[in-house]
Structure 1
Amino acid sequence: MNIGDKVRLLRAKEQGVVSRFLPNGMIEIEIEDGFRVPVMRSELVPVSPLEAERLLKNNPYAAQKTVAPATPSILANQGVYLAFVAVNDREYTLHLINNTDWEFPYVVGEESAAPGGGTQFRGLQSGVLKARSQQKFNDHYLHASFEGWPTFVVQGLWFRAGKSSLRQPLVKRFKARTATFFKSKTTVPVLNQPGFLTQLDADTSESDATLPNSNRPVQPKSVTLRPDELKAEMLRSKSDQEPVSVDRPSAVVDLHVEALLPNGVGNRSPADLLKLQLTTFERTLENAIASGMNDITFIHGVGSGALRTELHKRLGQHSNVKFFEDAQKQKFGYGATKVTIR
């Protein structure tokens, strides 16, 4: 059972689509009204696409009954992955998986540091993935050079023939990290082979279908809550909240007070200003790590050296920082620190 698979409850009439796996043998499914509920795995069975058709054929009285209009089938809206499958004990192949009911026109490439600074993009392949299909890429990635793997960039659109909701384009960057990559081994959907898997569309849904620049307003979904569903939602663990998307920060971040507070410091004390600088530093560093950046530079100035000392202290204790060093001495002297991310 994978994300995007259609399932039916054993003890109820509802059908839905698997949207997420929860701890303790629970699975979150999205039913037709858009409401997501947690259900025990033992209470779910997969729905075969031919099940309804076969039941109708085996019913001799079907032609004599007035058949109500068919309920629109539930679409699997999530399930786009990057998968790394071992060729041998030294190399991996890269696969793009589309386990949804949408066609997925895509562009896949690699982002890496340019020799003269900044980043450069190398296109790998483009095409259209049909629903429930996968594409294997020609490049092999060596286990021995794992730390030097590039940041993978996937850009994609969503397409279904006929009437459907307009969905936002997918743009995702993925940087493999030792601390998490090798814990993600599982059975790859569609391929049905073991591999290392990362989901690219975990934070998108049909509710964000209208583009920000569209003239058509987004209409909120009408959801009817039943007592049993409301109770299950109230008991849902707070640790199972949806992941938060992050913005990719600039490669150079200025921590000077004048840059952070262009309208003036107001009545803030020196302690408040230092706290603002450190909070901005922490948030920007975490966003850089989460968005797959290879390095980032913080401009802190020289001054008394208090901010620089505190930044270096925190960087030295951060598990995702490979190393850090004084940067751009010809321009800033010792007023900037370049951080290289694992």
Structure 2
Amino acid sequence: MNIGDKVRLLRAKEQGVVSRFLPDGMIEIEIEDGFRIPVMRSELVPVSPLEAERLLKTTSYAPQKTVTPSAPAILSNQGIYLAFLAVNDREYTLHLINNTDWEFAYVLGEESAGATGGVQFRGLHSGLLKPKSQQKMNDHYVHASFEDWPTFVVQGLWFRAGKTSLRAPLIKRFKARTTTFFKTKTTVPVLNLPGFLTQLDAESDQSQASAPNSNRTAQPQPKRISPEELKAEMLKPKSEMEGVSFERPSAVVDLHVEKLLPNGTANRNPAELLKLQLDTFEKMLENAIASGMNEITFIHGLGSGSLRTELHKRLGKHPNVRFFEDAQKQKFGYGATKVTIK
């Protein structure tokens, strides 16, 4: 379930569009007339295109009768993404995703520093994205040269047949940063494949354009990056990008506290120690995936079983895990889990 997906309530007649994810399993949906309500995730089901089509056919055979004008259809207004999908352990492909109910005419390109210090723009692709569709670009982006990736620029216009509100053009720049980019791994909308995702049309950026003779305050123009700012950003020391490590981990990772904290626990409580073990597990698993490993084993011990249970829970939801099993019973008993990576 993603922002922009159409859903309906299990115990009520309302339908709406997912607008925001809230804490504690709550989801905010926008229903008719623009009202937004929080609903438990377990009380929502997606409305599939096939279901909508069947409902339409059923209605077409109903006896003709006078129908009062209904409220306007609920539109998915947000959902333009750049997505990077791994081709192998070295390269990524770039996709432009339109998960809205609008047609999106776009131009996509790259900005990079020129030889004379200015900014050069290179066009990659242009076209028209239909609602709930995507476009794959031709270029591949190499993991080893991540810090040299360009700034991606997307410019777009919105279109929908009939009477609609005028929407401001979308102009968005995106520069991938090591400290945040690899934390965005999720299931990519429309493609339903794992990838690294960034949303270009966040709600704060999507103010509707003012109509002619309107008294509304004019919307601010997108900030333009000067050549000096771009050059200074690209010449920042690499030490600022050391927040995420992608060193290949060992085939067997021991999560025992005495291995992680050989100098003592320093008065950490059990909850803090468990968090340290889980953080280490997450980091080693992601490093194993990023470095192209086929499998990795985690030693978690027996104990109360809480660590093993939490590891198996997270592994069961991970899009890049093929399967996992108790490993090397002769050596570890049931205190280790072997993970096979897709």
Q: TM-score range by the shorter chain?
A: 0.5 to 0.7
SS in 2 for 1:110: strand
Matches within 5 A, 1:217-232: 217-218=215-216
Match of 2:19 in 1: 19
Q: How many positions carry a matched residue from both structures?
A: 238
Match of 2:232 in 1: 295
Q: Distance between the aligned counterparts of 2:205 and 2:8, measured in 1?
A: 21
Q: Distance between the aligned counterparts of 2:64 and 2:162, measured in 1?
A: 31
Deviation per residue, 1:22-71 (Å, 9 max, x gap): 33222221222223333221111112445466457658994175433343
Residues 111 and 56 (structure 1), Cα distance of their counterparts in 2 relative to 1, 3 Å cut? closer
Q: Distance between the aligned counterparts of 1:84 and 1:124, measured in 2?
A: 15
Q: How far has the Cα of 1:138 moved from its partner?
A: 0.4
Match of 2:213 in 1: 215
Native 8 Å contact 1:78 1:204 kept in 2: no
Residues 163 and 92 (structure 1), Cα distance of their counterparts in 2 relative to 1, 3 Å cut? same
Kindly indicate whether residue 3 of structure 2 is the aligned counterpart of residue 3 of structure 1: yes
Matches within 5 A, 1:305-316: none
Q: How far has the Cα of 1:203 moved from its partner?
A: 2.7
SS in 2 for 1:216: coil
Match of 1:92 in 2: 92
Residues 72 and 86 (structure 1), Cα distance of their counterparts in 2 relative to 1, 3 Å cut? same
Q: How far has the Cα of 1:205 moved from its partner?
A: 7.2
| Of 176-185 and 24-33, the range deviating more from structure 2 | 24-33
SS in 1 for 2:187: strand
Q: Distance between the aligned counterparts of 1:57 and 1:119, measured in 2?
A: 54
Match of 2:133 in 1: 133
Q: Distance between the aligned counterparts of 1:8 and 1:39, measured in 2?
A: 10
Residues 134 and 183 (structure 1), Cα distance of their counterparts in 2 relative to 1, 3 Å cut? same
Q: Distance between the aligned counterparts of 2:136 and 2:54, measured in 1?
A: 35
Residues 204 and 49 (structure 1), Cα distance of their counterparts in 2 relative to 1, 3 Å cut? farther
Q: How far has the Cα of 1:132 moved from its partner?
A: 0.9
Q: How far has the Cα of 1:110 moved from its partner?
A: 0.4
Matches within 5 A, 1:171-186: 171-186=171-186
- Matched AA of 1:295: A
Q: How far has the Cα of 1:99 moved from its partner?
A: 0.7
Native 8 Å contact 1:129 1:135 kept in 2: yes
Deviation per residue, 1:245-265 (Å, 9 max, x gap): 98456455xxxxxxxxxxxxx
Matches within 5 A, 1:8-47: 8-47=8-47
Q: Distance between the aligned counterparts of 1:60 and 1:130, measured in 2?
A: 26
Q: How far has the Cα of 1:11 moved from its partner?
A: 3.2
Matches within 5 A, 1:255-334: 293=230, 295=232, 319=240
TM-score by length of 1: 0.61
Deviation per residue, 1:115-158 (Å, 9 max, x gap): 11131111111111111111011000000000110010000000
Q: Distance between the aligned counterparts of 2:6 and 2:110, measured in 1?
A: 33
Deviation per residue, 1:194-246 (Å, 9 max, x gap): 1111010013577x22248x433459xxxxxxxxxxxxxxxxxxxxxxxxx98
Native 8 Å contact 1:154 1:172 kept in 2: yes
Deviation per residue, 1:138-194 (Å, 9 max, x gap): 000000000110010000000112221110000000011111111111111111111
Q: Distance between the aligned counterparts of 1:128 and 1:60, measured in 2?
A: 31
Residues 52 and 68 (structure 1), Cα distance of their counterparts in 2 relative to 1, 3 Å cut? farther
- Matched AA of 2:40: M
SS in 1 for 2:166: coil
Kindly indicate whether residue 195 of structure 2 is the aligned counterpart of residue 195 of structure 1: yes
TM-score by length of 2: 0.61
Deviation per residue, 1:286-320 (Å, 9 max, x gap): xx7xxxx45269xxxxxxxxxxxxxxxxx99x946
Match of 2:119 in 1: 119
Which structure 2 residue ranges, 5 or more long, are not aligned?
244-342
| Of 59-68 and 4-13, the range deviating more from structure 2 | 59-68
SS in 2 for 1:33: helix
Q: Distance between the aligned counterparts of 2:59 and 2:227, measured in 1?
A: 65
Native 8 Å contact 1:210 1:216 kept in 2: no
